[in-house]
Structure 1
Amino acid sequence: MYYFIRYTTLFILVCSFYQTDNFLLTNRISKIKIGSFNLRRYSLTKATSTNSVNLHISKILKRYDLVFLQEIIDASNDNRVINHLLNHLHK
Protein backbone atom coordinates (compact mmCIF):
# COMPACT_ATOMS: atom_id res chain seq x y z
CA MET A 1 0.00 0.00 0.00
CA TYR A 2 1.29 3.46 -0.84
CA TYR A 3 0.55 6.78 0.76
CA PHE A 4 1.69 10.18 -0.36
CA ILE A 5 2.02 13.40 1.54
CA ARG A 6 2.13 16.70 -0.32
CA TYR A 7 4.44 19.21 1.29
CA THR A 8 4.60 22.34 -0.90
CA THR A 9 6.55 21.10 -3.92
CA LEU A 10 8.02 18.04 -2.25
CA PHE A 11 6.08 14.80 -2.43
CA ILE A 12 6.77 12.10 0.10
CA LEU A 13 5.81 8.58 -0.88
CA VAL A 14 5.50 6.17 2.01
CA CYS A 15 5.47 2.53 1.00
CA SER A 16 3.99 0.19 3.55
CA PHE A 17 4.63 -3.49 2.88
CA TYR A 18 4.25 -4.65 6.46
CA GLN A 19 1.03 -5.99 7.96
CA THR A 20 1.54 -4.82 11.53
CA ASP A 21 1.25 -1.18 12.49
CA ASN A 22 4.14 -1.30 14.91
CA PHE A 23 6.67 -3.29 12.90
CA LEU A 24 9.51 -1.03 14.06
CA LEU A 25 8.81 -1.87 17.68
CA THR A 26 8.47 -5.61 17.16
CA ASN A 27 11.42 -6.03 14.82
CA ARG A 28 14.20 -3.67 15.83
CA ILE A 29 16.73 -5.22 13.47
CA SER A 30 14.68 -4.35 10.40
CA LYS A 31 16.07 -1.66 8.15
CA ILE A 32 14.16 1.08 6.41
CA LYS A 33 15.31 2.07 2.94
CA ILE A 34 14.98 5.80 2.30
CA GLY A 35 15.42 7.37 -1.12
CA SER A 36 15.31 10.87 -2.54
CA PHE A 37 14.87 11.55 -6.24
CA ASN A 38 14.49 14.54 -8.52
CA LEU A 39 12.11 13.52 -11.30
CA ARG A 40 13.02 16.59 -13.40
CA ARG A 41 9.73 18.28 -14.22
CA TYR A 42 7.58 15.15 -13.99
CA SER A 43 4.24 16.41 -15.27
CA LEU A 44 0.94 15.04 -16.52
CA THR A 45 2.44 14.64 -20.00
CA LYS A 46 5.18 12.34 -18.70
CA ALA A 47 2.84 10.56 -16.29
CA THR A 48 0.37 9.62 -19.02
CA SER A 49 2.90 8.72 -21.70
CA THR A 50 3.30 5.11 -22.74
CA ASN A 51 7.08 5.10 -22.86
CA SER A 52 9.25 3.10 -20.52
CA VAL A 53 10.07 6.03 -18.20
CA ASN A 54 7.16 5.25 -15.89
CA LEU A 55 8.13 1.59 -15.78
CA HIS A 56 11.69 2.44 -14.75
CA ILE A 57 10.54 4.99 -12.17
CA SER A 58 8.12 2.52 -10.58
CA LYS A 59 10.75 -0.25 -10.49
CA ILE A 60 13.16 2.04 -8.67
CA LEU A 61 10.57 3.41 -6.23
CA LYS A 62 9.42 -0.09 -5.23
CA ARG A 63 12.85 -0.72 -3.70
CA TYR A 64 12.32 1.87 -0.95
CA ASP A 65 10.14 2.20 2.14
CA LEU A 66 10.20 6.01 2.23
CA VAL A 67 10.78 8.14 -0.87
CA PHE A 68 11.12 11.90 -1.28
CA LEU A 69 10.19 13.08 -4.77
CA GLN A 70 11.08 16.50 -6.15
CA GLU A 71 9.97 18.46 -9.21
CA ILE A 72 6.55 16.90 -9.65
CA ILE A 73 4.46 19.45 -11.48
CA ASP A 74 0.77 19.04 -10.73
CA ALA A 75 -1.41 22.10 -11.31
CA SER A 76 -4.62 20.14 -10.82
CA ASN A 77 -6.37 20.08 -7.47
CA ASP A 78 -7.10 16.36 -7.70
CA ASN A 79 -3.44 15.19 -7.85
CA ARG A 80 -3.71 13.53 -11.26
CA VAL A 81 0.05 13.23 -11.71
CA ILE A 82 0.52 11.45 -8.39
CA ASN A 83 -2.44 9.18 -9.10
CA HIS A 84 -0.89 8.13 -12.41
CA LEU A 85 2.40 7.46 -10.65
CA LEU A 86 0.64 5.39 -7.98
CA ASN A 87 -1.18 3.41 -10.68
CA HIS A 88 2.18 2.51 -12.21
CA LEU A 89 3.43 1.42 -8.80
CA HIS A 90 0.44 -0.89 -8.27
CA LYS A 91 1.02 -2.76 -11.54
Structure 2
Amino acid sequence: MQVNVNMSSVAGTAWRAVKPHIPMIKFRKGGLTELVQGPPEPMVAAAAAAAMKKPAAAPVQSAPVLEEWQVPLKYRRETITEEEIEFINRGGPA
Protein backbone atom coordinates (compact mmCIF):
# COMPACT_ATOMS: atom_id res chain seq x y z
CA MET A 1 0.00 0.00 0.00
CA GLN A 2 2.85 2.39 0.74
CA VAL A 3 3.96 2.25 -2.91
CA ASN A 4 0.59 3.58 -4.15
CA VAL A 5 0.66 6.49 -1.71
CA ASN A 6 4.16 7.51 -2.82
CA MET A 7 3.29 7.18 -6.50
CA SER A 8 0.17 9.30 -6.15
CA SER A 9 2.03 12.02 -4.27
CA VAL A 10 4.72 12.11 -6.98
CA ALA A 11 2.04 12.34 -9.67
CA GLY A 12 0.29 15.13 -7.76
CA THR A 13 3.54 17.07 -7.43
CA ALA A 14 4.26 16.70 -11.14
CA TRP A 15 0.72 17.82 -11.99
CA ARG A 16 1.13 20.97 -9.91
CA ALA A 17 4.48 21.68 -11.59
CA VAL A 18 2.89 21.91 -15.06
CA LYS A 19 2.08 25.53 -15.79
CA PRO A 20 -0.49 26.79 -18.31
CA HIS A 21 1.09 27.71 -21.63
CA ILE A 22 0.26 29.57 -24.79
CA PRO A 23 0.19 27.30 -27.87
CA MET A 24 2.80 28.23 -30.48
CA ILE A 25 0.75 26.88 -33.38
CA LYS A 26 -1.71 29.35 -34.87
CA PHE A 27 -4.51 27.96 -37.02
CA ARG A 28 -6.15 30.10 -39.67
CA LYS A 29 -9.75 29.48 -38.82
CA GLY A 30 -11.82 27.51 -36.36
CA GLY A 31 -10.34 25.36 -33.69
CA LEU A 32 -11.45 23.20 -30.83
CA THR A 33 -14.37 25.48 -29.93
CA GLU A 34 -15.75 25.17 -33.46
CA LEU A 35 -15.51 21.38 -33.30
CA VAL A 36 -17.32 21.25 -29.96
CA GLN A 37 -19.94 23.95 -30.56
CA GLY A 38 -20.24 23.74 -34.33
CA PRO A 39 -19.87 26.60 -36.78
CA PRO A 40 -21.62 29.86 -35.92
CA GLU A 41 -25.09 30.31 -37.41
CA PRO A 42 -24.34 33.37 -39.63
CA MET A 43 -21.73 31.36 -41.56
CA VAL A 44 -24.20 28.56 -42.19
CA ALA A 45 -26.86 30.99 -43.43
CA ALA A 46 -24.35 32.83 -45.64
CA ALA A 47 -23.04 29.56 -47.08
CA ALA A 48 -26.57 28.38 -47.85
CA ALA A 49 -27.38 31.69 -49.59
CA ALA A 50 -24.15 31.52 -51.60
CA ALA A 51 -24.91 27.92 -52.60
CA MET A 52 -28.30 28.98 -53.96
CA LYS A 53 -26.78 31.70 -56.16
CA LYS A 54 -24.03 29.57 -57.71
CA PRO A 55 -24.68 26.71 -60.12
CA ALA A 56 -23.86 23.25 -58.87
CA ALA A 57 -20.20 22.33 -59.27
CA ALA A 58 -19.19 19.26 -61.26
CA PRO A 59 -18.51 16.22 -59.07
CA VAL A 60 -14.86 15.58 -58.28
CA GLN A 61 -13.47 12.58 -60.10
CA SER A 62 -10.91 10.50 -58.25
CA ALA A 63 -8.07 8.57 -59.82
CA PRO A 64 -8.75 4.89 -60.54
CA VAL A 65 -7.64 2.43 -57.86
CA LEU A 66 -4.85 0.08 -58.92
CA GLU A 67 -5.15 -3.59 -58.10
CA GLU A 68 -2.10 -5.52 -56.88
CA TRP A 69 -1.53 -7.12 -60.26
CA GLN A 70 -1.62 -3.72 -62.02
CA VAL A 71 1.26 -2.18 -60.04
CA PRO A 72 4.47 -1.76 -62.13
CA LEU A 73 7.31 -4.15 -61.30
CA LYS A 74 9.56 -1.47 -59.84
CA TYR A 75 6.90 -0.60 -57.24
CA ARG A 76 5.97 -4.15 -56.26
CA ARG A 77 6.84 -5.58 -52.89
CA GLU A 78 9.78 -7.98 -52.79
CA THR A 79 8.94 -11.62 -52.06
CA ILE A 80 9.75 -12.86 -48.58
CA THR A 81 12.18 -15.77 -48.26
CA GLU A 82 11.54 -18.78 -46.04
CA GLU A 83 14.31 -17.59 -43.69
CA GLU A 84 12.56 -14.23 -43.25
CA ILE A 85 9.23 -15.98 -42.63
CA GLU A 86 10.80 -18.13 -39.88
CA PHE A 87 12.44 -15.03 -38.34
CA ILE A 88 9.09 -13.22 -38.23
CA ASN A 89 7.21 -16.23 -36.86
CA ARG A 90 9.62 -16.77 -33.97
CA GLY A 91 9.38 -13.10 -32.97
CA GLY A 92 12.86 -11.89 -33.87
CA PRO A 93 16.36 -13.04 -33.01
CA ALA A 94 16.56 -16.12 -30.81
Structure (1 or 2) with the greater strand fraction:
1
Structure (1 or 2) with the greater helix fraction:
2
* Shared fold per TM-score greater than 0.5: no
Which bracket does the TM-score occupy, shorter chain normalised? under 0.3
TM-score (normalised: structure 1): 0.17
